[in-house]
Amino acid sequence: MSTLANSKMSVQLQSKESTANEQMETSNSNVETSGIVYDTKDLNLWYSETHALKDINLSIHEKEVTAIIGPSGCGKSTYIKTLNRMVELVPGVQTTGTISYKNKNILDKSFKVEDLRTQVGMVFQKPNPFPKSIYENIVYGPKIHGIRNKKVLDEIVETSLRGAYIWDEVKDRLNENAYGLSGGQQQRLCIARALAVQPDVILMDEPTSALDPKSTLKIEELVQELKKDYSIIIVTHNMQQAARISDRTAFFLNGEVVEYDETDTIFTNPSDSRTEDYISGRFG
Amino acid sequence: MYALILCWVQMLEGVTGEMQKNSEVRHGESLNVSEMIAQNKNKKSISNLVEKLIPTFLFLLALITVLTTLGILYTLLSQAIEFFKQVPIWEFFTGTVLKPLSQNPEFGILPLISGTLISTFIAMLVAGPIGLMSAVYLSEYASDNVRRVLKPMLEILAGIPTIVYGFFAFTFVTPLIREIWPDVGATNILSPGLVMGVMIIPMIASLSEDAMTSVPNAMREGSLAMGATKLETTFKVVIPAAFSGIIASFVLGISRAIGETMIVTIASGSSKNFTFDITQSMQTMTAYIVEVSGGEAPAGSTIYYSLYAVALTLFVFTLIMNLLARYVSRKFREEY
Amino acid sequence: MIKQMDASQLRSRMNRRVRANTVWKTIFLLATLFGLFVLAILIIRVVSQGASWIDMDFLTGRLSTDAERAGIMGALLGTVWVMFVVIPVTLIIGVGTAIYLELYAKKGKFQSFIETNISNLAGVPSIVYGLLGLTVFVRLADLGNVVLAGGLTLALLVLPILIVSAQEAIRAVPAHLSEASYGMGATKWQTIRRVVLPAALPSILTGSILALSRAIGETAPLTVLGIPALLIPFPEGLFDTFTALPMQIYYWTLDSSLVAEYANLAAATIIVLLVLLFVLNSVAIFIRNKFQQRY
């Protein structure tokens, strides 16, 4: 068992090194190259007959904000949901290729999705708090992972809510139903809920698409703060948002990665004409 | 059992929680949740086991419904076969004489079938038109407020136990009919038939209404915009479009009437004459089963087995009706 | 105007059509009210006949052939005891089956086979369940006509109703709630137990109360099981013989041609039964309104 894991790991390490090298060679990076948290290799994904993701190769960097943009149906949501295997909730999904997360292939069936999703938090398109109190929402994750101590839980609640910059707004009504909060507050609560299990990565699937501009701005500021401690991957429909908050941007089209580079490069000097067309609003 | 397992899991979780508490004190100030979670993972083997066993356990629960069906089929078939060893199947289905208790017993089911069909027919004469008209009113004419009041009240009618309808038929409707029509017997098939009809009204009304409300509004508007009245729209557009749904509701109503027991048992008596005279007492298949099983027929006797032969016939009747209703309404769903 | 038609002819025709519409609207309304009218008569009749017979002695008294002294305590206790069997059995099997069908079973032939089977079971006449109970529980398992046999028979009878309503309740829990739970690393069962079931619980309870009230009023299967209405001791456990409210009504109604007062006793018992059902249904509606979640 352990030897197997080791050999696998060494293979993964090699592949990681090679991609890192490629990365260095292909992009004239002036951003300091940090560690790579997710390394996607030749990922293909089918929904029954539909080929939704085609030969995806992407390396996602630690403690950065990676934005994924593209028109509807381009596979960007599918991709982010593959990163924590939520995509498997759809029956009939098949994948080939590998996604290495901390040097382990998460698409391997022996990789426990529960472990993966504990280390990789997710924030959804529509705020989806549980119909419970604010407190219960936050402690949901810790509790299912066996943390029962009341003092610890209290502490987690405060830390998480502070981390999501919503503590001051809700500290006096922790026992009230989360549905009493505004949409923007609900979304920040959902972020706090994801923080409660101290993940390494936070996946955000169009987290502001259901929010008003003011709440959107708050979430964007929050994302900037969070990237100090977390690697963040955000799918967005809104190109300005990607330009504002991300360090790197991947442009998806028809299930393929057209271009992946530093955000500045993508938005000022894209190398693919399709990226330019999309960014300048010619389609999508 | 399920509750037991829940308690069990909770207890186990409680125990790990206690262990948690002890290790916690040492942690002190800085809180490392992910480390704590990683530690707990090792203790999770029991909940992993639960996770694996639950689907199997639930699958077994789901099988109970299948077992019920098998139980019904086995019960009816095995005992009915015993009956047909003693009474030829041909005689049973064509016999017009039913004398189970006589010295020379005869087992012809036709009197029971005629009783069943006649009471069902009377019930549908009441429930069909009235149920359909109620459905038209609720779906096409009533305002939202009126509907919100009337529908739950109609549902009360459906929630009244059949024994209460039986009492009502026997002690109120029959005497009332006999005031007007003295030829009617103290027990007769007419009164329970009528009361059964009232009982079935809400069923037909609500199923037909569902069928009518699912007719797209665009179809109605098309007709109304031509200057048609609501009445014309209802009869020329809505009812034809919802026709199979309405038919399905009638078929289910018939099935319900065939299987109804207490009203006919109480109000129609136990005469086993093969007749079509609705003023007379007639026995239905269901009422026969009540009479014979309540009379403590000795197990193993022909009359005891006859119960199952009758019940099997009843079962087949209602099964055909239910399958027919499903077939008709599925066709209807394909239309739009 | 349609050129091929005379204007006055058209107008009189129009009037006739509009009048027909109004007349039929009234007829449709009357048809709808007809059922309620009968319901009103039924209730007035039962109350006027039975209300004066209800007092503490009637509710707490033992069965007696003397109409003046007869009480329904035995039947009430019998009904309660039977419910002690029906409630847990239907809840466990019903909710378990619904969870399996909605959340675990792969959509396919087997799942649709079980669902078709359940909807067929819902259409089987209750008296057939009586024969099943008689053959399997009373005779084969040799329980006799005791509380347990009656309760299991009624439980199987109302099980399809509960399964279908629990399935609807589970289906109504929005997917984004369970997604949130899975996204936190919860397992399937954790998600079901902590998110799906709590959210579906009010509707499940409502459905189970409605199934229960169906079981309380059911008579036919009990007659087949041979449940007596004799002077039997009060049931004290699952293996005691019993009688139930609907059985009491049945026997008193049958014998009312012998002793006229029995009809009044039957009416009084009907009032008790209807009040019981009314209370149960009110609780169901209360739960539905009170705990309905906004998502």
Do C114 and C23 sit in the same domain of this protein? no
Q: Tell me, yes or no, whether C115 lies in a domain.
A: yes
Q: Tell me, yes or no, whether B166 lies in a domain.
A: yes
Name residues 130-149 of chain A within 8 A of C (Cβ).
Answer: 130-132, 140-141, 143-145
Q: What is the CATH number of the domain that holds B305?
A: 1.10.3720.10
Q: Tell me, yes or no, whether B141 lies in a domain.
A: yes
Strand partners, A181: none
Confidence of residue C295 (pLDDT cuts 50, 70, 90): low
SS (H, E, C) chain B: CHHHHHHHHHHHHHHHHHHHHHHHHHHCCCCCHHHHHHHHHHCCHHHHHHHHHHHHHHHHHHHHHHHHHHHHHHHHHHHHHHHHHHCCHHHHHHCCCEECCCCCCEECCHHHHHHHHHHHHHHHHHHHHHHHHHHHHHHHHCCHHHHHHHHHHHHHHHHCCHHHHHHHHHHHHHHHHHHHCCCCCCCCCHHHHHHHHHHHHHHHHHHHHHHHHCCCHHHHHHHHHCCCCHHHHHHHHHHHHCHHHHHHHHHHHHHHHHHCCHHHHHHCCCCCCCCCCCCCCCCCHHHHHHHHHHCCCCCCCHHHHHHHHHHHHHHHHHHHHHHHHHHHHHHHHCCC
What is the arithmetic mean of pLDDT over A229-248?
91
> DSSP code of A73?
T
Q: Tell me, yes or no, whether B74 lies in a domain.
A: no
**Residue C182 clears pLDDT 50, i.e. is over it:** yes
Residue B130 to residue C95, Cβ atoms within 8 A: no
Q: Tell me, yes or no, whether B42 lies in a domain.
A: no
Name residues 99-158 of chain C within 8 A of A (Cβ).
Answer: 106-107
- Mean residue pLDDT of chain A comes to 84
SS (H, E, C) B103-153: CCCEECCHHHHHHHHHHHHHHHHHHHHHHHHHHHHHHHHCCHHHHHHHHHH
What is the arithmetic mean of pLDDT over C72-93?
92
CA distance A11 to A8: 5
Q: Tell me, yes or no, whether B286 lies in a domain.
A: yes
Residue C104 to residue B153, Cβ atoms within 8 A: no
Q: SS3 of C72, please?
A: coil
Q: Structure pTM?
A: 0.84
Q: Tell me, yes or no, whether C171 lies in a domain.
A: yes
Q: What is the pLDDT of residue C241?
A: 83
CA C127 to each of CA A269, B72, B166, C286: distance values in angstroms, whole numbers, following the listed order: 80, 11, 15, 32
What is the arithmetic mean of pLDDT over C128-138?
92
Per the CB < 8 A criterion, the answer to whether C130 and C222 are in contact is yes
Range of the domain at B109: 99-333
**Residue A265 clears pLDDT 50, i.e. is over it:** yes
The CB-side HSE value for A12 (13 A sphere, CA atoms) comes to: 22
What is the arithmetic mean of pLDDT over A102-116?
86
CA distance B124 to C200: 38
Residue C223 to residue B69, Cβ atoms within 8 A: no
> Nearest CA to CA, how far is C159 from chain A (Å)?
29
Q: What is the largest CA-CA distance in chain A?
A: 56
Residue A86 to residue C106, Cβ atoms within 8 A: no
How many B-C residue pairs are in contact by the CB < 8 A criterion?
249
CB contact B293 to C (< 8 Å): yes
Q: Tell me, yes or no, whether B176 lies in a domain.
A: yes
pLDDT tens-digit profile of C7-44? Answer: 788 788 888 888 888 999 999 999 999 999 999 999 99
Range of the domain at C21: 7-53
What is the arithmetic mean of pLDDT over C140-168?
92
Do C180 and C142 sit in the same domain of this protein? yes
Do C142 and C106 sit in the same domain of this protein? yes
Q: Tell me, yes or no, whether C215 lies in a domain.
A: yes
Do C119 and C74 sit in the same domain of this protein? yes
Q: Which residue of C has its CA nearest to A130?
A: C177
Walk along chain B (336 residues) and give the pLDDT tens digit of each residue.
444 445 444 544 444 444 444 444 333 345 677 777 777 766 666 777 888 899 999 999 999 999 999 999 999 999 999 999 998 888 889 888 888 877 788 888 999 999 999 999 999 999 999 999 999 999 999 998 998 889 888 888 888 999 999 999 999 999 999 999 988 888 899 999 999 999 999 999 999 999 999 888 888 888 888 888 889 999 988 999 899 899 999 999 999 999 999 999 999 888 888 888 888 889 999 999 998 887 666 777 888 899 999 999 999 999 999 999 988 887 765 555
Q: Tell me, yes or no, whether C2 lies in a domain.
A: no
Structural domain total, chain B: 1
Fold classification of A2-279 (topology level): Rossmann fold (3.40.50)
Do C48 and C63 sit in the same domain of this protein? no
**Residue A151 clears pLDDT 50, i.e. is over it:** yes
Strand partners, A249: A67, A261
CA quadruple C102, C103, C106, C109: dihedral, nearest 10: -20
Q: What is the pLDDT of residue A30?
A: 40
Do C44 and C64 sit in the same domain of this protein? no
Do C206 and C253 sit in the same domain of this protein? yes
ipTM given for this complex: 0.91
CA distance A186 to A200: 22
> DSSP code of C125?
-
Q: What is the pLDDT of residue C229?
A: 72
CB contact C185 to A (< 8 Å): yes
CB contact B55 to C (< 8 Å): yes
Structural domain total, chain C: 2
Confidence of residue A12 (pLDDT cuts 50, 70, 90): very low
Q: Tell me, yes or no, whether B85 lies in a domain.
A: no
Q: What is the CATH number of the domain that holds C191?
A: 1.10.3720.10
What residues contact residue B10 under an 8 Å CB cut-off, 6+ apart?
none
- The chains found to touch A (3+ Cβ pairs under 8 angstroms) are B, C
Q: Which residue has the tokens 């329980």?
A: C143
CB contact B335 to A (< 8 Å): no
Chain A partners of B14 at a C-beta cutoff of 8 Å? 148
**Residue C274 clears pLDDT 80, i.e. is over it:** yes
